[in-house]
Chain A
Amino acid sequence: EIVLTQSPATLSLSPGERATLSCRASQSVSNYLAWYQQKPGQAPRLLMYDASNRATGIPARFSGSGSGTDFTLTISSLGPEDFAVYYCQQRSNWPYTFGQGTKLEIK
């Protein structure tokens, strides 16, 4: 089973700042990595797929990069609605595992 490790566990930033979230895989997943956002009491929402492709309706301030084992989700300028938990997920091998999440909180 591929293990995804996200860092940091918690990221404290202010609106308008840049956020950089990391996801590291225990073995190569090529570019088969997605990112999700989850707010309290809500289902996750797909942000990025195949590492660098924004899902439908996702603002351009979200971007993704990486391949192999190291991936990054960047939010260029945080809006108040961006404070949430973010998960990465690989689809290289079944089971499609998720990282443990990064909580992005308001500083």
Chain B
Amino acid sequence: EVQLVESGGGLVQPGGSLRLSCAASGFTFSSYAMHWVRQAPGKGLECVSIISPNGGSTYYANSVKGRFTISRDNSKNTVCLQMGSLRVEDMAVYYCARWNYAGGMDVWGQGTTVTVSS
């Protein structure tokens, strides 16, 4: 079964750090680019970051550039999002998603919740 499972969410104070992980199974992980997408409470979807299949290329939303780092380990079928200098506005459900080069995010995890509060 093709599956993505996120972990690492939780409560963090403003200015703090958190590392999210996404474990992939059921497909050739190293063949796909991977996204992190977030959804603030009651809001829409925002693409946070994308990483190429070999990890050589990464892109970030302006809202997180310089604070978040995406990485992947193809030997472990995992993609991570290291989040630093967290702000209240970073509070959201964070999803990892597989990028299908046909043109969409075709596999999603269940999401992990990040709460930023003092």
| Residues of A bordering B, CB below 8 Å | 1, 32, 34, 36, 38, 43-46, 48-50, 53, 55-56, 87, 89, 91, 94-101
Contact = CB atoms under 8 A, between A and B. Distances in A.
A46 B47 contact: no
Contacts of A97: 47
A45 B44 contact: no
Interface of B: 35, 37, 44-47, 50, 59, 61-62, 95, 97, 100, 102-106, 108-111
A98 B45 contact: yes
B111 A56 contact: no
Contact of A34 (B35, B37, B103, B110): B103
B62 A89 contact: no
Q: Is the interface of B mostly helix, strand, loop or mixed?
A: strand
Nearest to A98: B45
A46 B100 CA distance: 10
A55 B95 CA distance: 19
Contacts of B62: 1, 95
A91 B59 CA distance: 13
Contact of A46 (B50, B59, B106, B109): B106
Contacts of A50: 102-103
Nearest to A48: B104
Contacts of B105: 34, 36, 44, 46, 89
A38 to B, nearest CB: 8
B104 A46 contact: yes
Contacts of A1: 62
A89 B44 contact: no
A43 B102 contact: no
Scoring B95, B105, B106 by chain A CB atoms within 10 A of each residue's CB, the highest score goes to: B105
B108 A100 contact: no
